[in-house]
Structure 1
């Protein structure tokens, strides 16, 4: 009897071995580390086949001589020739606390009643930290990964490069599951974030596989020193559904990036102070022909693409006889997909105090051009000012003559007047002068009367309004107060409501025809975003992330409303940016959109 039972067990295990291939491994990131240098260990269970049903939890070993600083779940499933391969496990991040060794015992898991174990590991801990570049594991959660892409890994010092952090996945539900992003410290770099909408999705093919991607963040990065600079991984936290009602936060990391920063060439120009990029100078005088003691303004504008923050405005070289005032400077810059584009405008007021022709020179401007690998110098054309006359100076000279001249007869400078001629002129024009005086007096009296009548009207009107307000004060309710305190932009709000209702009507007609789904979902996305911005009172230049908008909607209308908004917005964006499509009843989608927008309005 025992022999029969033994044969049955052997046959059963043989069937399992044929139908399912199982392996359980412990994979260290590296076998030697320094003190305080993070290291990651992956415990990966690989099951190939479909007949494995009873899989227990992975039991991890104890970790000595180290600190556990992180833990994340590894999940992945692939198909090849109709056979499923499942990868499941844990990634443990450790930090050694002293030199010696880290001994890691075996991890174990029970599958179909059989125990599978990993081999023990020993990690050597030296007394110093290695400076080698970290080798990252591919973070796979249903074929999901994080990539940090840089336009140029071999830039010059102070040269701006474009960097994008992108999230790739094949699972649609993970696109909006991001809960947190932890960037590295960017040591040795000056970083300017690019403000742009990052809630749109694209479809990309990588190694023959189709992925949905989302840009998480974008930057313009300026390396501040030559040599090797390592950008440590970003850590992205996403909420992965676990069962029907729960979800688990999982961290995925990007691979570290190494920059080989080139040093700027030797022997820079004397007036070079670290500006790298492409620039030009424009000089504009407010006027070039003027009189003595009259002012003119010289505007010097340096514009271009590069490390705009280091720009210094070229100084004006002013001739003798011209007074120069302190220049006023204004800096504008915008980080974008082409780099940091901006300008520095400097305005200087000049006042020449004598006539003549003056040459106003502008000091040279030097910068390094990374495209050609050479230093460049801009020598602006001078400004020629033509100053005519000594008008104000002449007046001052006349006054000085009056002050300094020895005047014996005080009346000597008064021109002689013939009394007879003057008296005759006065008598002839006497009647005309009286007429003009009478007209002026009448005009003044009329103006005074009009002012008095207007002031009394204003006073009475104000009093009437005050009495009306007092009489109605007792009967006022909160609804009336809300109407009286309506913002001044109520007209704009009503216009927005009318616009939304009009477009909602258009959406209804499109749903009835059940044609042109791309335009239908395009209008759905527009209506949802505009209604939300109106409801949250967001300005045109104000930007909130998708998570922030969903949080505000949840606080205001509840989680169910927020989830419905998120699902409709995601669906419309997928219809626009992805070839993946579902057969939908547009009437049902319209009713959902109408319900949301009516609540938002």
Structure 2
């Protein structure tokens, strides 16, 4: 059991400590301040602005105003410093926000609010002039690096090197920026990271006036940038333009949290925390050319490289029994644009509407697919018959020419005699399929 003197000393020590802490708080509150600035007050729409907020002696974090109408927050970070000079403790926090302008014009960052005891502190509003896209000489565009594939200005000329100095960044690229109407574009989204991600929410780019087919599977690999190893996750999408003119692939975005406990690049004071990041790519413009004039009569919009075949399930058939003609078209391109083929021109046959089958192989790019037409035919007269060639035309973007495919004629031998009560084609079909 503690004696009275020890109890008194403990209570006196606790009281003195509380008084000192209160005095420190009052001292910090008396010196409380907040200031905000940007790294540049005039930028182009594709550039980014860094907002720096410096605070001292405030309670909690500063209250950032709603910027969603004018800016999106690409990333944010904070750093803290504590100094002791002549037994005086000074603590300051610096918050950095990387902002992406959303529109052209004179944009305003409203005052940022902070609390210090009963006081309310505010920064001065900041104006940023946002100009239209900067015209860049063609020769100044960054040359694609081997690990990047073919790029469409993922970075400004001075940004590509800076990318290697970041712990996490994203980009989008396409294999070509000028295409014909309906020609495939391969869009790749890549996440480069040296950090351990606790969570990630990917929003794909808006692709208005494009038909989209996602390539299955996510590719994961590592690469070296400026001597630093990055883990890369890659998502591929096939796009087919449906309108001519200049079309825009919108920005892709990623919202993620970095687990600093398992990421050695962060300082010890951040261990166990999760740092939020908001990343966004730049939009990509695609020039879509119309298809040339002079399309053949059998062209109905298919663009790509295709082949065609025709076959029957039997060449000798009894009168009144069905025979199936199968015409298959396959190749690279958007097979959904392949329209239904006309029925074969055979006067002595009853020909029914085809059964159409479509398959798309989206495991790799370019997209490969096929379309199959199955025509059920029933002869009305015996004897030799010839199924005429089927024709299919498409536009080949590689040669910039229309091409027409023709199948070989197919000979059929129909045996039997015409009955006074001819067999019902439906009954024959039921026997065939049942």
CA contact (8 A) 1:182 1:236 kept: yes
Match status 1:26 vs 2:38 = yes
Q: 2:308 aligns with which of 271, 281, 299?
A: 281
State the match for 1:221 in structure 2: 239
CA distance in 1: counterparts of 2:375 and 2:154, whole angstroms:
55
Q: Deviations over 1:248-300 (max 9, x none)?
A: 32111223222222322122222222111111111111112223223211111
Post-superposition offset of 1:145:
1.1
Q: 2:251 aligns with which of 221, 230, 233?
A: 233
State the match for 1:270 in structure 2: 297
CA distance in 2: counterparts of 1:29 and 1:288, whole angstroms:
79
CA contact (8 A) 1:366 1:376 kept: yes
What secondary structure, in the 3-state scheme, does the structure 1 residue paired with 2:170 have? strand
CA distance in 1: counterparts of 2:388 and 2:355, whole angstroms:
18
Post-superposition offset of 1:316:
3.1
The within-5 A match list for 1:514-553 is: none
CA distance in 2: counterparts of 1:260 and 1:296, whole angstroms:
48
Q: 2:75 aligns with which of 72, 75, 91?
A: 72
Post-superposition offset of 1:367:
0.4
**Which structure carries more strand by proportion?**
2
CA distance in 1: counterparts of 2:376 and 2:67, whole angstroms:
73
Post-superposition offset of 1:40:
5.1
State the match for 2:216 in structure 1: 195
State the match for 1:89 in structure 2: 96
CA contact (8 A) 1:361 1:383 kept: yes
CA distance in 1: counterparts of 2:383 and 2:41, whole angstroms:
78
The within-5 A match list for 1:87-166 is: 89-93=96-100, 101-104=106-109, 122-124=127-129, 142-166=166-190
Where in structure 1 are there 5+ consecutive unaligned residues?
Answer: 1-23, 47-53, 77-86, 109-117, 398-601
State the match for 1:41 in structure 2: 49
CA distance in 1: counterparts of 2:68 and 2:213, whole angstroms:
40
Relative distance call for 1:55 and 1:336 in structure 2 (3 A) is: farther
CA distance in 2: counterparts of 1:150 and 1:272, whole angstroms:
28
CA distance in 2: counterparts of 1:275 and 1:64, whole angstroms:
45
**Which structure carries more helix by proportion?**
1
CA distance in 2: counterparts of 1:148 and 1:135, whole angstroms:
7
What secondary structure, in the 3-state scheme, does the structure 2 residue paired with 1:281 have? strand
Post-superposition offset of 1:65:
12
CA distance in 2: counterparts of 1:359 and 1:238, whole angstroms:
65
State the match for 1:299 in structure 2: 326
What secondary structure, in the 3-state scheme, does the structure 1 residue paired with 2:180 have? coil
Q: Deviations over 1:453-477 (max 9, x none)?
A: xxxxxxxxxxxxxxxxxxxxxxxxx
The TM-score, its normalising length taken from structure 2, stands at 0.64
- Greater Cα offset, 298-307 or 133-142: 133-142
Where in structure 2 are there 5+ consecutive unaligned residues?
Answer: 1-35, 80-93, 114-122, 136-152, 261-269, 423-434
Relative distance call for 1:228 and 1:64 in structure 2 (3 A) is: closer
How many residues matched? 332
Q: Deviations over 1:169-219 (max 9, x none)?
A: 233x23xx34211122211211111121x2x6312134554322122x221
CA distance in 2: counterparts of 1:351 and 1:340, whole angstroms:
36
User: Which of the pair has the greater relative contact order for Cα pairs under 8 Å at 6+ separation?
Assistant: 2
Relative distance call for 1:205 and 1:293 in structure 2 (3 A) is: same
The TM-score, its normalising length taken from structure 1, stands at 0.48
Question: Superposition RMSD on alpha carbons, in Å?
Answer: 4.2
CA distance in 2: counterparts of 1:207 and 1:245, whole angstroms:
28
Relative distance call for 1:61 and 1:239 in structure 2 (3 A) is: closer
Post-superposition offset of 1:365:
0.6
The within-5 A match list for 1:302-341 is: 302-341=329-368
State the match for 2:205 in structure 1: 184
CA contact (8 A) 1:235 1:253 kept: yes
CA distance in 1: counterparts of 2:111 and 2:70, whole angstroms:
18
Relative distance call for 1:70 and 1:387 in structure 2 (3 A) is: same
CA distance in 2: counterparts of 1:308 and 1:29, whole angstroms:
50
